[in-house]
Amino acid sequence: MSLIENAKSVLLQNLTVKTNESVLIITDDDKEAIANLFYQAGKGVSKEAVLVKMPTRNKSGEEPPQMISSLMKCADVILCVTEHSLTHTNARKNASESGARIATMPGITLDMLENGAITADYHEVEALTEMYAQRLDQGEEVRIEKDGHVLTFSIKGRKGIRSTGVFKEKGESGNVPSGESYIAPIEDSANGSLLIDGSISNIGVLDEPIMLKIEQGRLVQATGEMGQRLLDLLGDGAGRTIAEFGIGTNKKARLTGNVLEDEKVFGTVHIAFGSNKSFGGRTEAGVHIDCVMKEPIVWIDAENVLSSALG
């Protein structure tokens, strides 16, 4: 019962579900048991809760079946309890444009439903997220430094996305649990290298750091066995294009190997490759893979925005 109560709290506190709204819960073969907790909770808080299941997608960013994409445009509130992320898909984007409030929970576990990021003070998360998003809105160039590696890229003209995990207005969407400010870099502007020492979506926590080399926005080298796995996930085409720069803003989040929580950890940043058209970029690649790094130095224009915040 406590897990159903926690699921009910997500529906009421994070998604602000009202009794006259319809709730669509999307799941897959891997996450059906957890999705059913939200379905049981949803039946008690909304006029109509519907649970639909699809085959598990192969990777984050892969589109759901067309039938589910069509259903998404009919719901007031959508919760995606799936193994891989539907955040950066056309299905999610189109449903948002139709007015649905959408929370995506890729890779959610029973532990995550009880502990960690989901237990955060979301007033604090909202404040930190807004602070970093404003810096992204106003900035033109980002510089990331760690252990002698430097990556620079342009964000000029792009807008920061506030992923607070609280959705009140029509069309709002993001992860639950959440806590990140992110942006789509100018696709061909990234040059340099960076050291990924946290985790990678679809791979997990790294045993040893991997070095990524990026030229004109494209990932051209990734060291080690895990680096090769990353390249394989991204493929040889548009999937290797830089897609996202994000800053974690949730002080309760833990580095667990699940990118849903990992990329929210305060003191981390993440770079993603692949699709970003759903949040202001130009790339559609059918894949979106996040790479998390711990405690880098981050400059937006002339301001040190991260290491100074960590003290």
- State whether 122 and 102 are in the same domain: no
DSSP assignment letter at 14:
I
- State whether 194 and 299 are in the same domain: yes
Q: ∠96-18-176 over CA atoms, to 5°?
A: 55
Domain end among 90, 114, 138? 114
- State whether 258 and 126 are in the same domain: yes
Mean pLDDT of 70-97: 96
Q: Is 311 within the bounds of a domain? A: no
> How far, in Å, CA of 152 to CA of 47, rounded?
49
> How far, in Å, CA of 83 to CA of 56, rounded?
7
DSSP 3-state helix, strand, coil percentages of the chain (rounded to 5)?
A: 30, 30, 40
Kindly report, residue by residue over 287-305, the tens digit of the pLDDT. 999 999 999 999 999 999 9
We report the CATH number of the domain holding residue 52 as 3.40.1830.10
Domain end among 81, 99, 114? 114
pLDDT of the residue at 1: 62
Kindly report, residue by residue over 156-207, the tens digit of the pLDDT. 999 999 999 999 999 999 999 999 999 999 999 999 999 999 999 999 999 9
* Model pTM score: 0.85
The rounded percent of the chain whose pLDDT value lies above 90 is: 94
pLDDT of the residue at 307: 76
> How far, in Å, CA of 63 to CA of 94, rounded?
12
Kindly report, residue by residue over 199-255, the tens digit of the pLDDT. 999 999 999 999 999 999 999 999 999 999 999 999 999 999 999 999 999 999 999
- State whether 177 and 204 are in the same domain: yes
- State whether 105 and 56 are in the same domain: yes
Mean pLDDT of 81-101: 96
pLDDT of the residue at 163: 92
> How far, in Å, CA of 219 to CA of 153, rounded?
13
Q: Is 286 within the bounds of a domain? A: yes
The Cβ of residue 87 has, within 10 Å, a number of other Cβ atoms equal to 24
Half-sphere exposure of 299 (CA within 13 A, CB side): 12
Domain end among 99, 114, 129? 114
- State whether 162 and 278 are in the same domain: yes
